[in-house]
Amino acid sequence: AGLAADVERGARAQEEGAAAGLEAAAHKMDQSVAIQETLSAEETCLATVQGILATEEGMESRLLSLIESHGKSMLCLYTHRRMAITAEDVCLDRVLLIQEGFAVEEVPPENNLQIPGSDVTVQVTSGGASLLVRLPFGSHTQTFLREVRRRCSPGKKDATAADPEQSAAGEVTGAPRLKTANKMVPSSSVPASGPTQGLSTRPCGLRDTLVKSLLKQKESSYTHLQNFRFFVGTYNVNGQSPRGSLRPWLSQDGEPPDIYCVGFQELDLSKEAFFFNDTPKEEEWFKAVTESLHPGAKYAKGNKGGVAIRFQFHNSTVCVVNAHLAAHPEEYERRNQEVRDICARMQFHPLEPGCPLLAIKEHDVVLWLGDLNYRLEEQDMERVKKLIQTQDFQALHQHDQLKIQREAKLVFEGFQEGEISFQPTYKYNPGSDDWDDSAECRVPAWCDRILWSGKTVSLLSYQSHMALKNSDHKPVSAIFDVGVKVVDKKSYCKAFEGIVRSLDKMENASIPSVTLSKREFLFKDVKYLQLQVESFTISNGPVPCQFEFISKPNEDAYCKPWLIAKPSKGFLMPDSEVVIALELCVNKSTATALNSGEEKLEDILVLHLDRGKDYFLSVSGNYLPSCFGCPIQTLCYMKEPIREMLPEAIRELTLMPLLTDDAFWEEKPLDVPKELWMMVDLLCRSACHQEGLFQQPGLRPEFEQIRDWLDTGTLDVLGPVASNHSVAEALLLFLESLPEPVVCYKSYRSSLECANSYEMSSQVISMLPKCHQNVFHYLVAFLRELLKHTGKNHLDVNVLAGPNPSSIPEGGQTITAKGNCHNCKRWKQ
């Protein structure tokens, strides 16, 4: 039942491993590539994992690599820089041959307390040598250990004799067979890791699923609530390093908390941190936090560097979200949208395979902290300072954007926040308690906030900490008593045995059957990137059953790529029901075929019952053609808006071969697509001075309005749009939707080879079809115009080009990724 309640009831939560079960999305760059660079052509790095090695000097970080060389397998340990990217970042420390006497064994934790999600400690022995290494929790570690054990399993003989320089302890000190290669080994020679797996790989059967569901229903009969104290803190450090102790913030209470949840924002503002998602300041602040924890208890620490962490504590699930939302007073709607996007998009993989993904709100307790950036509504600076001086925080709080938006139920619905009895936490002159006196002169605001949701959470304190002065923000903390469901073993065994006995009495002679509220679904007037949803209900009969949408014969997926069912599989108790949502959305991968009429919005779904029959659902709809997803050449020959053209004409233009001249039709085509001109023309007229262009996302309603204007031609030029960012995003989405990019697929290789030569690059462009040449020159002219105003829009060549101009996604397209914490945009080159 996934219980974590084998913990002795009287032990402190800190010693129980409060960081157990961490499942944050914190994936490090694959460091096998750096190891592979140090090897010769006959040697292969199969897998690499980073661990902590126990040495005489203390605990030291090492990279452990499984390497095959001339038929021999060996475990190599490397010292390394913080993030090993190239061969220069690693140095060989020692080599252990995998041969007779070699073993890797997991070391059980104290008291045999195995907490799901905790790190794995292994003992590596080879002859007389013995190493103790702690490896991080996760499927990558499990895959690494599995590969090592497979090579040292009984009966496996080494292909060659032991190396003559091998010591009696089984350790190769010189590693003569490993030498540095001068050339980079192609990434295709480095095997990819296996599929992600949890700690348990046993399939989840119908009976197990039923037992878990019944145990969940009877949870109140075998658990009791026990309060644990949570410290929740948030701090925007403005890229500064820690100076002095953090104890005034982290240890101000007399009683030590059971669990610390600490989130930082703007930890490192350097370009290197943005590009590589790694920073030495993370270690500095982690050390500062560690040294400032409450001295009254010992803590097991977990640091996941992501935006969210979830864990199971006893029988309760907790999710901690650390967010840094959009800045500036007028952007409150964007902040609301970002909160909704985080809740909708962030999902966690449960430890048990086969179980559905978990959303943020599907936890017993959610703690949300961070620099939420909500400001005060249109307040005069002097009036704000006067209210702060008189400590009339209640009157000032009435103008707080977050309070206003929450009361209107536009954001954080279902969450609570404590009463604010401290002065605004932003913006100060760094190193002091003085308000911002820079040219910007920001109005003070409560940017740094802590909210929560959960029926068993009670707030004990909510305060800021003026003693810390090294940032333009002040840290904030909240202390909670959280009622956690603790399992009583005797009651649990009693409930479990009762369920098993009742299941044993059940006769599964009857075949499961369900009733569907609807079997035919019609989606009307579907538009590009506009989600439509139709729902139906599956009502189960007296027999528990598992259902799943299955693929039809000779098809890989259960539905067309523009459709998805949520959930696509599940379990139904007797006489229960579930609502299934069919979501239809046409994107860049499906729009072209739908525009041309080669594909239709038609599909048949097969709903399969385990040990039961199949049900067939009919899905159909009509798609409104869009310029998004049309080839450049097709749009150049379209003098009218696409919605006004006959389907036959659209099909003929879309399917015609890509031409190098304009001799296909008698009528001369447009130099560039009119839709492209309309967007670029508007940006040239109104957005050349716009700061953050192509870096800040637009709003979806405005994009949909722009799309409809382009497709229907209701106006000769784009009408008034609230945000230049929405037009810029529409332009990026338009370019991203092109089935043939501006620089065609066949020219991709030569464009890379000629990238350092202007003359040769010009020759590559001259070989493109005429319409693609025109679009290329038109976009370059537009970008040059933007760069003329770099003093106001703060754009430069690096910002527009992006950090990685040669990355290749699926299909071989040339794409440059450009993004920030709010968005990710792509330029097709």
240-249 pLDDT, tens digit per residue, is 999 889 999 9
Q: What is the mean pLDDT of residues 106-133?
A: 76
220: number of Cβ within 10 Å: 11
What pLDDT, on the 0 to 100 scale, is given for residue 684? 93
Listed range (282-286, 535-539, 712-716, 813-817) with the worst mean pLDDT: 813-817
Which residues are bridge partners to 583 per DSSP? 533, 564
Sign of the torsion formed by the C-alpha atoms of 219, 220, 223 and 228:
positive
Residue 646 has a CB neighbour count (10 Å cut-off) of 8
pLDDT tens digits for range 745-769: 999 899 889 988 999 999 999 999 9
Nearest one of 718, 692, 693 to 703, comparing CA atoms: 718
Per-residue pLDDT, averaged over 68-74, amounts to 88
Whether the model clears a pTM of 0.75, i.e. scores above it, the answer is: no
pLDDT over 90 at 634, yes or no: yes
- CA neighbor of 638 nearest in space, from 601, 684, 676: 676
Q: What angle do CA 118, 459, 388 make, to 5 degrees?
A: 120
SS (HEC) of 567-627: CCEEEECCCCEEEEEEEECECHHHHHHHHHCCCCEEEEEEEEECCCCEEEEEEEEEECCCC
From 697, 535, 508, 470, select the one nearest 610 (Cα to Cα). 508
Residue 641: how many other CB atoms lie within 10 Å: 17
- Of 269, 255, 24, nearest to 136 by C-alpha is 24
**7-23 pLDDT, tens per residue?**
222 333 333 333 333 33
User: Which ranges of 466-587 would DSSP assign to H, the alpha helix?
Assistant: 489-505
Predicted confidence at residue 448, as pLDDT, reads 96
Per-residue pLDDT, 153? 61
Per residue in 564-581, pLDDT (tens digit) is: 999 999 999 999 999 999
The pLDDT value recorded for residue 660 is 62
The model's confidence at residue 383, banded by pLDDT at 50, 70 and 90, is very high
Q: How many CB atoms lie within 10 A of CB 740?
A: 18
Taking only the tens place, the pLDDT of each residue in 156-180 is 443 333 333 333 333 333 333 333 3
Top pLDDT among 554 and 352 is at 554
pLDDT above 70 covers what percent of the chain? 81
Q: Which of 287-291, 456-460, 526-530 has the lowest mean pLDDT?
A: 287-291
Residues 459-481 have a mean pLDDT of: 96
Confidence at residue 295, expressed as pLDDT on a 0 to 100 scale:
86
User: For residue 678, what pLDDT is reported?
Assistant: 92
pLDDT surpassing 90 at residue 85:
no
Please give the Cα distance from 770 to 633 (Å, whole number). 9
For the chain, how big is the Rg over CA atoms in Å? 30
pLDDT, tens digit, 9 for 90 and up, residues 722-744: 689 999 999 999 999 999 999 99
CA distances from 73 to 150, 157, 308, 706, 813 (A): 11, 11, 38, 59, 38
pLDDT band at 345 (very low <50, low <70, confident <90, very high): confident
| Per-residue pLDDT at 617 exceeds 90 | yes
